[in-house]
Chains A and B, each alone.
Chain A
Amino acid sequence: DAKTTQPNSMESNEEEPVHLPCNHSTISGTDYIHWYRQLPSQGPEYVIHGLTSNVNNRMASLAIAEDRKSSTLILHRATLRDAAVYYCILSPGWGSARQLTFGSGTQLTVLP
């Protein structure tokens, strides 16, 4: 199964942009890239997903490398409420739900 690699932790200053990287060198052509985040004492929350093109929504932007072996979640202006663990996972286009596996994610700390 395709896996992802993320840094264990990152820090950002409040009101500055944050770029959270994810490597997925074994991604297959039909795998979607999903990002979730988990605030303390809550369940994971869907953030954004994409296949090949960059995506924007009200929460964040997703930049996908041309070879799709890496992606970056962009928070345009970090707030203290964005402090969370961010997970990058691959969702197979035609595979089994059993393949929806999460790694340890990136712990984002936002400094005031």
Chain B
Amino acid sequence: DAGITQSPRHKVTETGTPVTLRCHQTENHRYMYWYRQDPGHGLRLIHYSYGVKDTDKGEVSDGYSVSRSKTEDFLLTLESATSSQTSVYFCAISEPPKGNSPLHFGNGTRLTVT
């Protein structure tokens, strides 16, 4: 798993509650990513970070925020969870994406919003 830990691995929460997912890496990679995976949609990029306090939006960023205060940690927050955010969330890391930098993924967090 290239030194990537996602927590929690599973979470059930109620609609309207805030939720924070954590990604921790021990590889000192500069880039970190949050993807969600849903049946029929494959993996979709939510947000990514290219350094401490440097983040940018992906293709499905609405309803999500991120923070990166340390190189090793990238947090994904759902300010007010909705049922449409029920999904499996994957964190990934890479060296700067100059084309030949592979992504390395964690094992995911399964989030259920009831």
The reply to whether A87 and B42 form a contact with Cβ atoms under 8 Å apart is yes
| B8 lies within 8 A of chain A by Cβ | no
Which A residues are CB-close (under 8 A) to B48? 97-98
The reply to whether A93 and B98 form a contact with Cβ atoms under 8 Å apart is yes
Chain A: minimal CB distance from B76 (Å): 15
The reply to whether A104 and B57 form a contact with Cβ atoms under 8 Å apart is no
Q: Which stretch from A9-17, A39-47, A61-69, A75-83 is at the chain B interface?
A: A39-47
Chain A: minimal CB distance from B69 (Å): 19
Q: Digit string of A29-47 for contact with B (CB within 8 Å is 1, else 0)? A: 0111010100001111110
Chain B: minimal CB distance from A104 (Å): 5
Chain B: minimal CB distance from A109 (Å): 18
The reply to whether B100 and A100 form a contact with Cβ atoms under 8 Å apart is no
Closest chain A residue, CB of each to CB of B91: A43
Which B residues are CB-close (under 8 A) to A31? 99
The reply to whether B105 and A43 form a contact with Cβ atoms under 8 Å apart is yes
What is the number of residues of chain B that contact chain A, defined by CB distance less than 8 Å? Answer: 31
The reply to whether B108 and A34 form a contact with Cβ atoms under 8 Å apart is no
Q: Digit string of B90-112 for contact with A (CB within 8 Å is 1, else 0)? A: 10101001111111111110000
What is the number of residues of chain A that contact chain B, defined by CB distance less than 8 Å? Answer: 28
The reply to whether B100 and A105 form a contact with Cβ atoms under 8 Å apart is no
**Which residues of chain A (56-112) have a CB below 8 Å from chain B?**
87, 91-98, 100-105
24 A–B contacts, CB within 8 A, in A order? A36-B103, A43-B92, A43-B106, A43-B107, A44-B92, A46-B102, A49-B102, A91-B97, A91-B99, A91-B100, A92-B99, A93-B98, A93-B100, A95-B97, A96-B97, A97-B31, A97-B45, A97-B50, A98-B56, A98-B59, A101-B44, A102-B35, A102-B43, A104-B42
Task: Taking A94-B98, A102-B42, A104-B41 as given, write out 16 further A-B residue pairs in contact, using a Cβ cutoff of 8 Å, ordered by the A residue number.
Answer: A32-B99, A42-B108, A43-B92, A44-B90, A45-B105, A49-B100, A51-B99, A91-B97, A92-B97, A93-B98, A97-B50, A100-B103, A101-B45, A101-B59, A102-B35, A102-B44
